[in-house]
Amino acid sequence: MNRLYHFPLSPFSRKVRLTLAEKKIEVELVEERYWEQSQEFLRRNPAGKVPILRMDGRFLPDSLAICEYLEETVPDPALLPGKAEARHEVRRLVAWFDGKFNDEVTSKLLGERVFRKLMSTGYPDSTRVKEGAKAIKFHLDYMAWLLEQRRWLAGDVMTLADFAAASHLSCLDYISDVDWDRSEAVRDWYAKIKSRPAFRSLLADQVSGFPPSRQYADLDF
């Protein structure tokens, strides 16, 4: 049986979970408190990070490397388009969300408000929380600008770029940190992706000590 070592509020893990579900690859989820850096965990991935996919007799780390692997081995349905320029645009946006958005928003809001407590590394740094709350506006506006020209973030079909974005936003929505009133285009996009069967497992997530926000699992938010 395939296995995914993950953490519920890890956006990188979520991108892989969405990809697996969309491609209908069954997987057993194993929750990993990655910050404890257990010996066994480091043997599976010396980088000490989740997610790690156990598949085809191997331990495969790194969310983007995993998604590329799944795209190559289970091509249907495709999460990358066919043309090189369009594939570049998807990968650019995956890097945008997993790099820039993660640094400027997710690590500041989720990192301070949830992970500090989970990892027992002190109180939230309110400066960082404020920076994150400010930066998310720029990012939502950028998404809105893209979505005014395109049906999905990278073009006319749903791709890994949408999964990367939805992974971060869903983690932030869990703690009520997304202002869905800021852009109708973004809200409509999120409603579409949230209602996919692949999203269900994410909406059932619970992290003890942190109950999800009221609208988190609501398809009509």
Ligand X SMILES: N[C@@H](CCC(=O)N[C@@H](CS)C(=O)NCC(=O)O)C(=O)O
- Footprint (CB under 8 A) of a second copy, residues 65-124: 65-66, 68-69, 72-73, 84-85, 87-88, 91-92, 94-96, 99-100
Residue 23 interacts with, from a second copy, ligand X, none (CB under 5-8 Å by kind): none
Q: Residue 45, Cβ neighbours under 10 Å: how many? A: 18
Helix (H) or strand (E) holding 59: strand 58-61
Which two structure tokens, joined as six digits, stand for 92? Answer: 């650019």
In terms of CB distance, is 37 or 127 closer to ligand X? 37
Say if residues 32 and 50 touch (Cβ distance below 8 Å). yes
Selection from 107, 185, 106 nearest residue 140 by Cα: 185
Residue 47 interacting with a second copy (CB under 8 A): yes
Nearer to ligand X, 66 or 186 (CB): 66
Q: Which of 47, 95, 175 is nearest to 5 (CA)?
A: 47
Out of 54, 62, 115, 133, the only residue in the binding site for a second copy (CB under 8 A) is: 62
| Interface pattern 141-180 for a second copy (x via CB under 8 A) | -x--------------------------------------
Q: If binding means CB under 8 A, how many residues of this protein chain bind a second copy?
A: 27
5 is a contact residue toward a second copy (CB under 8 A): no
> With contact defined as beta carbons under 8 Å apart, do 11 and 168 qualify?
yes
| Pairing of β 28-31 and β 3-6 | parallel
Torsion of CA 9, 125, 119, 95, to 10 degrees: 40
**3-state SS assignment for residue 9:** coil
Task: Report if residue 216 touches a second copy, rule: CB under 8 A.
Answer: no
Which residues are at the interface with a second copy (CB under 8 A)? Answer: 46-47, 49, 56, 58, 60-62, 64-66, 68-69, 72-73, 84-85, 87-88, 91-92, 94-96, 99-100, 142
